[in-house]
Amino acid sequence: MATKISMLAIDLAKGSFQVCAVGPDGTVLYNRALSRTRLAALLTEQPTCIVAMEACATSHHWGRVAQRHGHEVRLVPATY
């Protein structure tokens, strides 16, 4: 039986993206680096969930990609 992912937390970067998948009970299901192509494929294949990422220059692009596939996007303000 596959474990349901309730949230994808994505750390955006130029070449590879760190993606942490979280289950409904808050457990980390996986945490791995993905290429741009693989991230786009993941957002396409993944059943709808919350996609959280830090608000930055490319977050709006990736947020629109996620929304096209039914995901609920949440941008977290950057704090320094």
- Give the tens place of pLDDT for each residue, 47-61: 999 999 999 888 999
Cα angle 40-42-48, degrees, rounded to a multiple of 5:
110
Identify residue 70 by its one-letter amino acid code.
Answer: G
SS3 33: strand
Radius of gyration of the chain from its Cα atoms, rounded to whole angstroms: 12
Residue type, 50: I
Phi, psi of 46 (to 5 degrees): -70, 130
Cβ pair 4, 24 in contact under 8 A: yes
Residue 70 confidence (pLDDT) above 70: yes
User: Given a cut of 60, is residue 1 above it in pLDDT?
Assistant: no
CB neighbours of 3 closer than 8 A, spacing ≥ 6?
Answer: 23, 29
**Tens digits of residue pLDDT in 3-24:** 799 999 999 988 899 999 999 9
Q: Evaluate if pTM is beyond 0.75.
A: yes
For residue 69, pLDDT over 80 is answered with: yes
Q: What is the pLDDT of residues 20-43, one digit of tens each?
A: 999 999 999 999 999 999 999 999
